[in-house]
Chains A and B, each alone.
Chain A
């Protein structure tokens, strides 16, 4: 098991190298460069543009730029943002707590919504209830986040004033205000994921419904609630955990829209800004970090399998 984890962690290095090389070349293939963005619309002086490009090292061939960047990275230096001139380490350190909390919160909400909804849909004998939940999850899957977010803001922040918008204190400083402030964005991010997890729970439950051990459990005279919780749900959860792992990875990258709508200065927004302004080093750092987290989350999921199902072993 330990060896397996170590192998997976080592594998992370080539994965990140390849991804960083791809991102680096893609960024340089699209037109526009940060020097131009820095100078804006004030003038078109080619000499000034050249001077700024030289300052930023953009006049060197791409492979030289990539090599330099890699060299610095190996020394633990993420470099500085072209656009703001600030150390990328600081930019990411400022942004990541927002995104991590938003993703974790959304994941908790998604699971809290999906498991009961999916279980109910998967065990009910009522066609109507099952159909209603299927329709509901279909809506949840298809509504775009920017619309859901805008509607939640209008209803709960503007009309009812139950939740503030734009108030995101630190979790350590003001835990309650923090959970309240992050509730609407986390819910927005949770909705489509809750829907897809609920569907998975439902189909998994339907699959185990006819299993022998479920019949045995019922024949033993166990209460239905115990049958569902202890015998059906636990066995139905393996594919659900896989899906939750994938969802957790996507939440990190998928928070871009939600961060934009709710004005959260997280990693998604940092990355989006970096793309529009061709801030190559910032984008590189963001992509690397999200990639790393994605791989780590998947590793954690693999470990959870073992804990959940003793039949699974990693040699």
Chain B
């Protein structure tokens, strides 16, 4: 009898452990409406035309693309296309579509819809700002209802990641006729459908026909609906989640200040993840004295990036170069090992002297829509003074900033650049001589050649090596200053479970998010 006592105890422990394990992962609950607070006005829901971040936050749940980036791993994975093959010359991609995906009007998502979508984006009449991304496409052909073949003009190593996200969202043939005005109406295959586009809010309802299942085969989405509430004031946004009037606050306005003020508040959970986007100091390399690489190097040497992270981002960020530190497979070089990254005021002054400059007057224009940018500019002004730069801040409104950015009408500016999971998309358009957003007017034949080669090379190891060289060259030639990859934040009520804050800022995990009651 005595022997059975330890056995009983072991059994008891096993039972306890199992039940404890279950308590930690409760079963998802269905129903309810998830209320999301955002700061930016929702403007336009046409997936191929909209440019506002808030539009993407809504379209993420309505439109689906052929492929998607896994919100956690950031790897390209199947979505509406369940598999694909690439020809050996890297020019022909053949996608096989899943057969159970339907648009919210009940029609099946097929190959002709994919062709219609890409043709619409590339059609100059659409005036899609996304068209330049898909420029490598020569032709889209329907092989059979569930197989579509895309032929490229030249191999494109980043092509698959270009087929992700709502701005490449698949729409049905004759979209405009079916939907009416796509700016305020929607028709996609995503987990939610547009129910109401009202002033200051957008209401989405569950798409009962949605194809994706959860890990245990249950239907998605869990929630009956999602409401986006626009709360322009960041302080009110924080108050709204504390008062329980929204379940999740995310996006612009949810920053280190939100994390700090809401830390420890009852019933709230702070989420954070490293961002793919980075803060930068743009430099006009076409304008004297910044056309002299030594002046740009001096600017880089005058900056104490660690201090900026401490002061502006509360220590929540990473100093890095041209490759986001989260993308480990691309071997991002840490800031400490990049040239011109460690602050050296004397060296900066020497370089200015060699360039024949005394004290250099610099105008610096922070983007007004990113509160951090103004703060960064203020600290930068202090940091750069001993290095021989006399910084004058230029406060302008958003439309003025955009106009001057577009026309390269600046000395320097402070802003935030959105990131991408493929270095080609992350860098090419900003740094290549004729890149579509090279407002810096920076040119380097050496970097151009590497970027061109890396773009058509499909061998991953060789690409990694090329981008290693690109990272060093960029730090040496300083097309602009990469300042920091700060952490992203979101705050949720503890009733909200299953949401993943992704570095890509996607809202798609809301399909697998539930509210406990």
Q: Is the CB of A157 within 8 A of B183?
A: no
Q: Is the CB of A261 within 8 A of B44?
A: no
The stretch that binds B, out of A10-18, A83-91, A222-230, is A83-91
Q: Nearest CB to that of B367 among chain A residues?
A: A41
CB-CB contacts of B235-246 with A at 8 A, as 1s and 0s? 110011011011
Using known A-B contacts A31-B399, A150-B235, A167-B245, determine if residue A273 contacts B41 with beta carbons closer than 8 Å: yes
Give the distance in Å from the alpha carbon of A269 to the alpha carbon of B198 in the complex: 14
Q: Is the CB of A84 within 8 A of B43?
A: yes
Q: Nearest CB to that of A153 among chain B residues?
A: B239
Give the distance in Å from the alpha carbon of A260 to the alpha carbon of B234 in the complex: 10
Contact of B200 among A33, A38, A45, A265 (CB under 8 A): A265
Question: Is the CB of B26 closer than 8 A to any CB of chain A?
Answer: no
Q: Nearest CB to that of A51 among chain B residues?
A: B127
Q: Is the CB of A30 within 8 A of B233?
A: no
Using known A-B contacts A38-B51, A85-B183, determine if residue A153 contacts B236 with beta carbons closer than 8 Å: yes
The stretch that binds B, out of A59-67, A158-166, A198-206, A240-248, is A158-166
A-contacting residues, B395-436, CB 8 Å: 397-406, 418, 429, 436
CB-CB contacts of A136-147 with B at 8 A, as 1s and 0s? 000000000010
Q: How far is the CB of A63 from chain B (nearest CB, A)?
A: 22
Q: Is the CB of B233 within 8 A of A39?
A: no
Residues on A with C-beta less than 8 A from B198 are 94, 265
Q: Is the CB of B132 within 8 A of A43?
A: yes
The stretch that binds A, out of B168-176, B224-232, B322-330, is B224-232
Q: Is the CB of B245 within 8 A of A265?
A: no
Contact of A31 among B130, B243, B403 (CB under 8 A): B403
Most-contacted residue by chain A among B41, B183, B438 (CB, 10 A): B41
Give the distance in Å from the alpha carbon of A161 to the alpha carbon of B244 in the complex: 10
Contact of B437 among A43, A84, A167 (CB under 8 A): A43
Residues on B with C-beta less than 8 A from A269 are 200, 232
Q: Nearest CB to that of A83 among chain B residues?
A: B43
Give the distance in Å from the alpha carbon of A199 to the alpha carbon of B404 in the complex: 47
Q: Nearest CB to that of B241 among chain A residues?
A: A158
A-contacting residues, B181-227, CB 8 Å: 181, 183-184, 198-201
Question: Is the CB of B129 closer than 8 A to any CB of chain A?
Answer: yes
Residues on B with C-beta less than 8 A from A91 are 199
Q: Is the CB of B132 within 8 A of A45?
A: yes
Q: How far is the CB of B464 from chain A (nearest CB, A)?
A: 27
Using known A-B contacts A33-B399, A277-B399, determine if residue A44 contacts B436 with beta carbons closer than 8 Å: yes
Q: Is the CB of A263 within 8 A of B229?
A: yes
Q: Is the CB of A260 within 8 A of B127?
A: no
Question: Is the CB of B10 closer than 8 A to any CB of chain A?
Answer: no
Using known A-B contacts A31-B404, A165-B245, A276-B397, determine if residue A43 contacts B233 with beta carbons closer than 8 Å: no
Question: Is the CB of A305 closer than 8 A to any CB of chain B?
Answer: no
Question: Is the CB of A95 closer than 8 A to any CB of chain B?
Answer: yes
Give the distance in Å from the alpha carbon of A22 to the alpha carbon of B362 in the complex: 35
Contact of B239 among A44, A48, A95, A165 (CB under 8 A): A165
Q: Nearest CB to that of B237 among chain A residues?
A: A263
CB-CB contacts of A258-273 with B at 8 A, as 1s and 0s? 0011111100010001
Contact of B184 among A45, A55, A84 (CB under 8 A): A84
Q: How far is the CB of B219 from chain A (nearest CB, A)?
A: 31
Q: How far is the CB of A160 from chain B (nearest CB, A)?
A: 10
CB-CB contacts of A60-85 with B at 8 A, as 1s and 0s? 00000000000000000000000111
Question: Is the CB of B52 closer than 8 A to any CB of chain A?
Answer: yes
Contact of A40 among B52, B236, B246 (CB under 8 A): B52
Question: Is the CB of A116 closer than 8 A to any CB of chain B?
Answer: no
Question: Is the CB of A42 closer than 8 A to any CB of chain B?
Answer: yes
Using known A-B contacts A39-B51, A44-B436, A263-B233, determine if residue A85 contacts B44 with beta carbons closer than 8 Å: yes
Contact of A48 among B129, B199, B233, B397 (CB under 8 A): B129
Q: Nearest CB to that of A93 among chain B residues?
A: B199
Tally A-B pairs: CB < 8 A: 138
Question: Is the CB of B391 closer than 8 A to any CB of chain A?
Answer: no
Question: Is the CB of A278 closer than 8 A to any CB of chain B?
Answer: yes
Give the distance in Å from the alpha carbon of A4 to the alpha carbon of B199 in the complex: 39
Q: Is the CB of B130 within 8 A of A36?
A: no
Using known A-B contacts A165-B236, A276-B397, A276-B398, determine if residue A48 contacts B127 with beta carbons closer than 8 Å: yes
Question: Is the CB of B124 closer than 8 A to any CB of chain A?
Answer: yes
Residues on A with C-beta less than 8 A from B387 are none
Question: Is the CB of A175 closer than 8 A to any CB of chain B?
Answer: no
Q: Nearest CB to that of B181 among chain A residues?
A: A85
CB-CB contacts of A119-138 with B at 8 A, as 1s and 0s? 00000000000000000000
Q: How far is the CB of B121 from chain A (nearest CB, A)?
A: 12
Question: Is the CB of B439 closer than 8 A to any CB of chain A?
Answer: yes
Give the distance in Å from the alpha carbon of A48 to the alpha carbon of B400 in the complex: 19
Give the distance in Å from the alpha carbon of A27 to the alpha carbon of B406 in the complex: 19
Give the distance in Å from the alpha carbon of A45 to the alpha carbon of B127 in the complex: 11
Residues on B with C-beta less than 8 A from A166 are 229, 231, 240, 245-246
Q: Is the CB of B229 within 8 A of A86?
A: no
Q: Is the CB of B231 within 8 A of A263?
A: yes
A-contacting residues, B368-403, CB 8 Å: 397-403
Q: Nearest CB to that of A39 among chain B residues?
A: B129
Q: Is the CB of A261 within 8 A of B41?
A: no
Residues on B with C-beta less than 8 A from A265 are 198-201, 230
Question: Is the CB of A37 closer than 8 A to any CB of chain B?
Answer: yes
Give the distance in Å from the alpha carbon of A41 to the alpha carbon of B53 in the complex: 11
Q: Nearest CB to that of B436 among chain A residues?
A: A43
Q: Nearest CB to that of B369 among chain A residues?
A: A276
Q: Is the CB of B398 within 8 A of A158?
A: no
Residues on B with C-beta less than 8 A from A41 are 51, 402, 405, 418, 437
Q: Nearest CB to that of A266 among chain B residues?
A: B199
Q: Nearest CB to that of A32 among chain B residues?
A: B399
Residues on A with C-beta less than 8 A from B240 are 165-166, 263
Q: Is the CB of B233 within 8 A of A161?
A: no
Using known A-B contacts A83-B43, A158-B243, determine if residue A37 contacts B181 with beta carbons closer than 8 Å: no
Question: Is the CB of A154 closer than 8 A to any CB of chain B?
Answer: yes
Most-contacted residue by chain B among A33, A44, A157 (CB, 10 A): A44
Using known A-B contacts A36-B399, A40-B51, determine if residue A263 contacts B230 with beta carbons closer than 8 Å: yes
Give the distance in Å from the alpha carbon of A38 to the alpha carbon of B230 in the complex: 20
Q: How far is the CB of B150 from chain A (nearest CB, A)?
A: 22
Residues on A with C-beta less than 8 A from B124 are 51
Question: What are the 9 A-B residue pairs with the smallest beta carbon separation, nearest first?
Answer: A32-B399, A265-B200, A40-B51, A42-B129, A265-B199, A43-B436, A32-B403, A263-B231, A94-B199
What is the interface of chain B, defined by CB distance below 8 A to chain A?
41, 43-44, 51-52, 124, 127, 129-130, 132, 181, 183-184, 198-201, 229-233, 235-236, 239-240, 242-243, 245-246, 397-406, 418, 429, 436-439
Contacts A39-B129, A264-B200, A265-B230 supplied; 9 other A-B pairs, CB < 8 Å:
A30-B399, A41-B51, A41-B437, A44-B406, A52-B127, A146-B233, A150-B236, A165-B239, A166-B229
Could you pull out 29 A-B pairs where Cβ atoms are within 8 angstroms? A36-B399, A36-B406, A39-B129, A40-B402, A41-B418, A42-B130, A43-B429, A43-B437, A44-B438, A44-B439, A48-B127, A51-B127, A84-B183, A85-B181, A85-B183, A158-B242, A158-B243, A161-B243, A263-B200, A263-B229, A263-B232, A264-B200, A265-B201, A269-B200, A273-B41, A275-B397, A276-B398, A277-B399, A278-B399
